């Protein structure tokens, strides 16, 4: 057992680990009680666990916690119901989720994209989200929300 420090949502958070290979997702959810990143597949195939590390979208189910040395931002670090981020606000306005289980990955991925490409085309948004799955079929609204956020950025 050793304790490492994660930089999460602007704060330094100690995390005790007894397995270096534990994915970051478990530290965020189980140790730090964050709810934004979600377990969907554990295989890096669905995107539900996405977080930002130094502004890059990262699958937290695939990254060993001991490698997560950058600045981590989760869904709750972007904004809140009272003060949502521009991407979150666009998703809320478009009601761009049904069960909402995939929403974290969608919002984090779009946020990362807009950090790199200020005004992406819809094709670029689709490509950025190509490895983010949604089962409810909210894709059309998610695309509209992303384009709305891109226009407002």
Partner 1 sequence: MTHLRRRGFLQALAGLTVTFALPRPATAGLRSRAGDAVDGFLAIAPDGAVTVYAGKVDLGTGARIALPQIVADELGADIARVTLVEGDTALTPDQGSTGGSTGIPVGAMQIRRAAATARERLLALAATRLALPASDLEAVDGVVRPRSGGASVAFADLLADGQLALKVDPAVKLKPPNEFRYIGKPLRRPDVPAKMTGRHIYLQDFRLPDMLHARVIRPPAVGAELLSVDEATIAAIPGAKVVRIKSFLAVVAPGEWNAVRAARALVTKWSEPHRLPGSDAVYASVRAADVASSEVFRQVAETGPALAASARRFEASYHWPIQSHATMGPSCAVADVRDGAATVWTSSQGTHKNRAIFARFLGLPADRVRLVYMDGSGSYGTSGNDDAAADAALLSQALSRPVRVQWSRQDELAWDPKGPPQVLDVRAGLDAAGNVTAWETDVLVPANTAGLPGIPLLALDAAGIAQPQGSSSGQTAGNADPPYAFPAIKATVRWLRTTPLRTSNLRAPGKIGNVFAVECFTDELAAAAGADPLEFRLRALRAPRGIEALQRVATAMAWQKRPSPGVIDSKATILRGRGIAYCQYKQAENFVAMGAEVEAERTTGIVRVTRIVCAHDCGLMINPDNVRAQVEGCILQTLSRTLFEETLFDTSRVTSTDYASYPLLTFPDVPKLDIILLDRPTERPLGAGEAPAAPVAAAIANAIFDATGLRLRTAPFTPARVKAAFAATAT
Residues in touch with partner 1 (CB under 8 A): 1, 18-19, 22-23, 26, 29-30, 33-36, 38-43, 45-46, 48, 74-76, 78-81, 84, 88, 91-92, 95-104, 107, 125-127, 129-143
Tell me the C-alpha distance between 22 and 60, whole Å. Answer: 10
Q: Cβ of residue 151: shortest distance to partner 1, in angstroms?
A: 18
**DSSP-derived pairing of the beta strands 2-8 and 71-73:** parallel
Q: Judge whether 125 and 147 are in contact, CB under 8 Å.
A: yes
What does the DSSP assignment read for 12-48?
Answer: EEEEEES-TT-BHHHIIIIIS---SS--S-SSSSS-T
Q: Cβ of residue 112: shortest distance to partner 1, in angstroms?
A: 15
Q: Closest CB to partner 1 among 70 and 89?
A: 89
Q: Cβ of residue 33: shortest distance to partner 1, in angstroms?
A: 8
Q: Cβ of residue 106: shortest distance to partner 1, in angstroms?
A: 9
């Amino acid at each position: 057992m050793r304790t490492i420090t994660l930089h999460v949502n602007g704060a330094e958070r100690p995390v005790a680990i007894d397995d270096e290979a534990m994915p970051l997702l478990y530290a965020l959810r189980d140790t730090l009680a964050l709810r934004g990143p979600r377990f969907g597949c554990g295989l890096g195939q669905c995107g539900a666990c996405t977080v930002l590390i130094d502004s890059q979208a990262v699958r937290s189910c695939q990254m060993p916690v001991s490698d997560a040395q950058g600045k981590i931002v989760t869904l709750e670090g972007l904004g809140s119901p009272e003060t949502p981020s521009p991407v979150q606000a666009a998703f809320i306005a478009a009601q761009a989720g049904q069960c909402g289980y995939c929403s974290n990955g969608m919002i984090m991925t779009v946020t990362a994209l807009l950090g790199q490409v200020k005004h992406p085309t819809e094709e670029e948004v689709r490509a950025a989200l190509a490895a983010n799955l949604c089962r409810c079929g909210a894709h059309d609204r998610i695309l509209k929300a992303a384009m709305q956020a891109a226009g407002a950025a």
